[in-house]
């Protein structure tokens, strides 16, 4: 929901930073390095080092924005788009597991959260595949290698959720249930709008 606004805020400084980025370090390398910081954040959460986890996650998110800016400067590739989305989905899947390892009482809430993420990923990617097939595109979420329907819970909200539970880990259980509910609503909304959009392209 907040991604289009966030893109307008962060893209200009990221694009400027990309202009000074050394050509020897590619966008794909930034993605892999950033994912390494994401894995380190998971390790920190599993060891209840939440302040360290927060710092590592923010570095990861900076890398996630910078790799796209560098790719736009140097020329985007299918491999880069693939690595970017896989790294994001793996991180969002691993962080809830880390909260279980660090505090087993989080298990049920984390499982509900993971279920919502899995459903969201399925709906997200299924529509992206069909949109690519039919040539549907937009840049409302920034310039992307594929098109997807917006939802109540997107990247910005997901980052906000994990930042919150790292700052206040004692509230992970209610926060996870609340965010999972938001993701489930996004799944329903994306299903509805995707069906309408695909029907329109069939008759367009």
Closest to 104 in 3D by CA, of 151, 38, 172: 172
140-164 pLDDT, tens digit per residue, is 444 444 444 556 678 889 999 999 9
Give the whole-angstrom CA distance, residue 8 versus residue 171: 31
pLDDT tens, residue by residue, 9-54: 888 888 888 888 888 889 999 999 999 999 999 999 999 999 999 9
pLDDT for the residue numbered 169: 97
Which residues lie across from 140 on neighbouring strands? 142
Pairwise CA distance, residues 136 & 150, whole Å: 14
Provide the 8-state DSSP code for 153. S
- Residue 114 to residue 159: CA distance in whole angstroms: 15
pLDDT at 57 over 50: yes
Give 152's DSSP letter: S
Give the domain extent around 145: 3-203
Please indicate whether residue 179 or residue 133 has the higher confidence score (pLDDT).
179
The rounded distance, in Å, linking the Cα atoms of 108 and 159 is 21
In the chain, the number of structural domains is: 1
Look up the CATH number of the domain holding residue 36: 1.20.120.1760
Structure tokens at 53: 């986890």
Listed residue (54, 46, 85) closest to 68, CA to CA: 85
**How large is the C-alpha radius of gyration of the chain?**
17
- For the stretch 89-101, pLDDT in tens is 999 999 999 999 9
């Amino acid at each position: 929901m907040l991604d289009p606004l966030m893109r307008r805020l962060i893209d200009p400084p990221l694009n400027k930073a990309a202009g000074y980025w050394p050509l020897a370090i590619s966008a794909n390398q930034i993605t892999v390095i950033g994912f390494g910081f994401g894995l380190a954040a998971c390790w920190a959460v599993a060891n209840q080092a939440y302040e360290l986890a927060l710092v590592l996650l923010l570095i990861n998110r900076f890398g996630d924005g910078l790799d796209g800016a560098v790719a736009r400067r140097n020329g985007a590739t299918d491999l880069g788009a693939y690595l970017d989305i896989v790294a994001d989905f793996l991180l969002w899947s691993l962080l809830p597991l880390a909260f279980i390892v660090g505090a087993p009482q989080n298990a049920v809430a984390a499982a509900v959260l993971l279920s919502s993420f899995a459903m969201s990923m399925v709906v997200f990617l299924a529509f992206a595949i069909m949109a690519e097939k039919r040539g549907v595109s937009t840049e409302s979420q920034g310039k992307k290698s594929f098109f997807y329907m917006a939802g109540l819970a997107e990247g910005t909200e997901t980052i906000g959720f994990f930042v919150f539970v790292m700052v206040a880990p004692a509230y992970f259980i209610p926060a996870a249930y609340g965010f999972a509910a938001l993701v489930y609503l996004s799944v329903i909304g994306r299903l509805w709008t995707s069906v309408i959009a695909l029907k329109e392209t069939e008759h367009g």
